[in-house]
Structure formats: C-alpha cells, structure tokens
Amino acid sequence: MQRGRLFNTTNNDKTDQNNKEKPFNTHVKNFDAFFNLELAPEIEQLAKLRNQLWSKAINKSIWMIALVLVVMLVFMFFLRALPLILFALAAAIIACIIIFTINYKAQKETYNTSFKNKIIKKMMLGIDERLQYQPDLCISQNEYLFSKIFRQRVDKFHGEDLIETTIDKTNIKFSELHTEQETETIDSKGRRQTKWTTIFKGVFFIMDFNKNFEYETVVLPDYNQQIFGDLLKSFQFGQRGNGKLVNMDHPEFEKLFKVYSTNAIEAHYLLSPNLMESIVQVKEKFNSNIYLSFSDSKLHLAISNYNNLFESPNLWGNPNFLNLIKTYHDYLHNCLEIVNDLNLNLRIWSKN
C-alpha cells in the first residue's frame, strides 16, 4: 500500500509530519504510472485464473453437450418423420447453448469476484486508503425507501459495490442499485402477462448534509417543464405525498427539476442558489437523470446509470484493462467529488 501513496500525495507530506488528517484524495494523480506499477502485476496473476476458468467452462460444457448430442442421436434414430427430427435437433442446439451459458456464468462469477477483490479494491486503495469497498453489499432497501425518492412498490431489490468513507467532515456511502416492479397486464384475449419494470438503476448515495432541517424535500427530474417550458408553470399545483410543488428561483434548475416539499421556505433554505447551481452542474457532469431528497438529516442522491460498474471483462478475448479500469476510476472520481461539488464540507451553520 505504501507504493500506492506515491501517486496521490505530493504536497501533503508536511501535513503528515504535523500528524494532522491529510486531505482526502478523490483520484490517482498519475493513473497510467499507477496502473503499470500497481495493477498490471495483479492483472497478470489474474490472467492465469482467467485462462483456467475459461478452459473449465469449455471442458465442462463439452462433456455435457456431447452427452446431449448422443441422447439426441439415439432419439433421432428411432424417429422417422422429418419434422420430429428437426424439432429434436433444435432442442439439442438450445440445450447446448443453455448448458454452455450456465457453465460460463458460474466461471465468470468466480473471475468477477477475484477481479473486484484484487484489482478494483487495489484501485480504490490507490485513490485513498480510507475508502472502504464491499463488493457484495449495497445500500439497504430500508434506506432506499426511507429516502422517499421512489415511491413505487419494490418487488425486486438488487445492489452491489458498496463504497463508504468520510471526506473531511462528510460521511458518504454509495452503491449500485437496481429496483424493479412486477406488473401484470391482460391482453384482449384475456391472457395474463407478467412484466418487470425498472424503477431505478444506477448509483444511490447517502451523505451527511451540512444544514439542520425538519421537513421533507424531494428534487425530481421535470420532464413537463423540459417540454412545455414556463407555459403552465403558474397553473401547476403538484402534490406528492404530503409535499407540495415548490417553484424555485433558479431558471436553469427550475427547467430541469421539480421540487416537492412539506415546507416551501425550508426548500429554499436547503436549496440555496449555490446548491441549485451545483446540482445542475452535477447533472451535466454525469449526463443522466438525477434525483435528490433531504430526509433524516441526510442528503440522498440517485444517479441513473445503465452500465454495470466495476465488473470484470469477459473470459475470452484480449480486453484493454487500462481503459476499462480508467473508466471505473474516472466514474468513481466523479462520485467522490460530489461532496466538493455540493460544498458539503462547508460548516458555518449550527450543524457541525
């Protein structure tokens, strides 16, 4: 770990000498050098495992596929009609694909776990030793529901890659989340169809907020405003739970978001002009939908992202690890920078 520190602390040595808490690093200063020195040897080690697992997936599948084919050949020998033979052949092909997929997925999972524990963890420690990474954990369902950002019933809750740390005075934790709802539709012939609809897929953050508050305020993307502009604004009276629609005094923010709050003055207190400006910038930086809520003295932030973060590449081919890990590193850097972007360490109010 000592070698990793070379890449992120240059001006902080004096602070270390004075035995003070060093500033939090949100990225590795020279990523290419860090990759070559710290991660490349680990990736080389992991390449052996990757080859082994790929061979294992192939070998396991070959035996099972061979067995399926033998059974099918015997079966076809007793069949006389061509349609039945074609049906048996199609069934055999499908069975082979399923067998291979199951075997491949099992081996890929093993590789993925090693990739996260060895490469991703090391990359995170290279950024800052105080980052805690737990690949199998996530923000809990209760925490997700407590934010009140998404009010839909959740039928499937899945998450991974929990990251937690304290940046200066602000505690921050975030993880990937995917929440889904089961919906049932009945077509014109009366047939029932079950469909899974995604409620949220992306990164969900919980952070300390630097002001005290007692009411609930939620900030959501405003699709109507983006389409109709100010045309209907004076006649809009939205209600969401106990919260009422609040018009904010930042034109760009108001164009992109709608705010529901149980207290209009507190909504203005929390969403200062600077914070609204920063939220607009965070949205531009991530270039996706963002949702916020203020409850239980925490700031909840959800950023949509349909890519699966920190995943290993496939077992075959020749992936570009440098680019892949750099992409993860840069996304993580943006996530950690949110504390500074939203100026959450500014503590000039009663809350410390």
Contact residues toward other proteins (CB under 8 A) are 211-212, 233-235, 237, 246-249, 264-269, 272-274, 346, 348-350, 352
Minimum distance from CB of 36 to other proteins (Å)?
40
Q: Provide φ and ψ at 264, rounded to 5°.
A: -65, -40
Closest C-alpha to 64, from 94, 104, 87, 95: 95
Classify 19 in phi/psi space as left (phi over 0), alpha (psi -120 to 50) or beta. left
Residue with tokens 């993860």: 328
Interacting residues of 53 by C-beta distance below 8 A, sequence separation 6+: 107, 108, 110, 111, 315
Q: Are 150 and 293 in contact (CB under 8 A)?
A: no
CB closer to other proteins out of 257 and 321: 257
Minimum distance from CB of 348 to other proteins (Å)?
5
Minimum distance from CB of 224 to other proteins (Å)?
16
CB closer to other proteins out of 41 and 251: 251
Residue with tokens 């939620």: 218
CB closer to other proteins out of 127 and 280: 280
Token readout for 167 is: 């940046």
Minimum distance from CB of 26 to other proteins (Å)?
21
CB closer to other proteins out of 109 and 249: 249
Token readout for 193 is: 């169809």
Helix, coil or strand: residue 133? strand
Helix, coil or strand: residue 157? strand
CB closer to other proteins out of 150 and 253: 253
Minimum distance from CB of 171 to other proteins (Å)?
20
Minimum distance from CB of 213 to other proteins (Å)?
10
CA 73: distance to chain centroid? 47
CB closer to other proteins out of 234 and 323: 234
